[in-house]
Amino acid sequence: MKRKLISAIGIAGMMVSIAGCGGEGGGSDKGGADAKELTVWLTVDAQNNWPQLVKAADAAVQKKHPGLKINHEYYGWPDKNAKLDAVLATDKAPDVVEMGNTEMLGYMVKGAFAPLDPAKFDNSDAWLDGLKASVTYEDKTYGVPYYAGGRVANWRKDIAASVGVKTPPKTYKELTAALDKIQKKQGGKFNAWYQPTRDWYAAMSFVYDAGGAIATESGGQWKAGLSSPQSLKGLTEFKNVVDSYMHGDKTKDESDRYIVYGQGKSAMIFAAAWEGATAEDPKNDKTGKLKGKLENFVMPGPSGKNMPVFLGGSDLAVPVKSDAQDLAAEWINAYTGSSGQKGLMAKGNLPNNKTDLATLKNDPATAVPATAAESNWFVPMAPGWGQVEKAQILQTMLQSIGTGKKSVEAAANDADAAIDKVINTK
């Protein structure tokens, strides 16, 4: 579910052409209420997993606009943005495009998407906070949340039971007490908690749980905040986890975590909700014994509340060059509205809004990810955030902390200095 944020530099050349169109969009010349065709770009997730929802949205819009032709194109995540950048430099832009939520910012900063009226979309007043943030820039809305995926804790029930723990922990104190027992029993080469050091999604959850932030905005300017007392508290606890329970390579990121977990030398991960099930897949389960022994639970935070989690997911946007922006907005609402969300939930996705999310908490099969997603955070919606990610400032800081190359305070101060140099730069 994680999407890599495209660098603003990578779309700069394409945006020269867009700038001439104006960043506001949505004017009478672009509304296109009488357009005869609509072009919708989605990823292969929709094509492979819920094509009936696409057909239902088409039917709803075509019922209101007889004779409207709706064209669909589907793309894989690795090549989607390159194709989008190329077409946005021409006069043949799609009318609707799916974006990973962390991909939105670079395009919004450069004026690629038309502003939308949230009031025209179902449940917009209840959009999940992290998803709402992903489509909002300078107090304007440039997209509609589509669906979400959260993060949960997952552990080996059999290993927990071996130290007398039969149920998932409800508090952070209970969690660390159980992990201490597991670590002692399994020995120093075992990971009671496999937590890749460079995993900034997990580390920043500790920061936000402690009341800190990557950066905050005041008076139109962003300022890094990793060296604040609250952020340092969160980073220090993250270091404690890595020091106490992570005995693997302290320079790794999270990209192959489910593979490492499947090797059977770890008792727990804090990861995307799908990673546990993927680890126990026969293709990844090197022990041959993980099936039925892995269990998701809501990650408790040191603060005493549920750990705030990063929400991955997708948004839908209308390119500013679209000549059918009104129809595009209608299609998006037909697709992501109340009926669409029910269909997406039936396919295992988290909905885009708190109202529907609450219904999932009543089902044992979905209660854990739904409850975990209630407390969430998102990246700073600052013009230079793409440069922060491209430079891997957070990963570098975390590796320095995890390997002991720098103290928590020194690494955070260096990260703040690096962030402040670019975060306000478009």
What does the pLDDT look like over 148-175, one tens digit per residue? 988 999 999 999 999 999 999 999 999 9
Q: Indicate whether 105 belongs to any domain.
A: yes
Q: Indicate whether 25 belongs to any domain.
A: no
Q: Indicate whether 243 belongs to any domain.
A: yes
Percent of the chain topping pLDDT 90: 88
Domain count, the chain: 2
Q: Indicate whether 290 belongs to any domain.
A: yes
Q: Please classify residue 309 by burial: count the beta carbons closer than 10 Å to its beta carbon, then call 0-12 exposed, 13-18 middle and 19+ buried.
A: buried
Same domain? 250 vs 137: no
Same domain? 206 vs 172: yes
Which structural domain, as residue segments, surrounds residue 400? Answer: 151-310+379-421
pLDDT, averaged across the chain: 92
Same domain? 209 vs 297: yes
Q: Indicate whether 342 belongs to any domain.
A: yes
pLDDT at residue 426, rounded to an integer: 87
Mean pLDDT across 328-351:
95
Please name the residues in contact with 421: beta carbons below 8 A apart, sequence gap of 6 or more: none
14-29 pLDDT tens trace: 443 444 444 343 333 5
Report yes or no: 386 and 425 within 8 Å, Cβ to Cβ: no
Q: Is the pLDDT of residue 57 over 70?
A: yes
Mean pLDDT across 391-417:
98
Same domain? 178 vs 228: yes
Q: Is the pLDDT of residue 308 over 50?
A: yes
d(CA 99, CA 96): 10
Q: Is the pLDDT of residue 3 over 60?
A: no
Pull the structure tokens for residue 60.
Answer: 């709803």
What 13-17 contacts at long range (C-beta under 8 Å, 24+ apart), as own/partner pairs, is 13/89, 14/85, 14/86, 14/88, 14/89, 15/88, 15/110, 15/111, 15/112, 17/88, 17/89, 17/90
The amino acid present at 70, given as its one-letter code, is: I
Same domain? 139 vs 272: no
Report yes or no: 95 and 38 within 8 Å, Cβ to Cβ: yes
Same domain? 302 vs 203: yes
Mean pLDDT across 284-296:
96
Which DSSP state fits 208?
Answer: H
Same domain? 257 vs 345: no
Instruction: Give the Cβ contact number of residue 49 at 10 Å.
Output: 13
Q: Indicate whether 23 belongs to any domain.
A: no
Same domain? 304 vs 315: no
pLDDT at residue 33, rounded to an integer: 67
pLDDT at residue 30, rounded to an integer: 67
189-200 pLDDT tens trace: 999 999 999 999
Comparing CA positions, the residue from 328, 311, 387, 385 lying closest to residue 115 is: 328
3-class secondary-structure state, position 187: coil
d(CA 57, CA 61): 6
Pull the structure tokens for residue 295.
Answer: 């269990």
Same domain? 65 vs 52: yes
Percent of the chain topping pLDDT 70: 92
d(CA 179, CA 163): 9
Same domain? 77 vs 105: yes
Alpha carbon separation from 185 to 179, 240, 268, 288, 423 (Å, rounded): 10, 19, 15, 22, 46
220-260 pLDDT tens trace: 999 999 999 999 999 999 999 999 999 999 999 999 999 99
Q: Indicate whether 12 belongs to any domain.
A: no
Same domain? 393 vs 264: yes
Q: What is the CATH number of the domain that holds 417?
A: 3.40.190.10
Instruction: Give the torsion sign (CA, 320, 324, 327, 331).
Output: negative
Same domain? 247 vs 206: yes
Report yes or no: 285 and 279 within 8 Å, Cβ to Cβ: yes
Provide the pairing of β-strand 376-377 with 309-310.
Answer: parallel
pLDDT at residue 119, rounded to an integer: 97
pLDDT at residue 16, rounded to an integer: 36
Q: Indicate whether 187 belongs to any domain.
A: yes
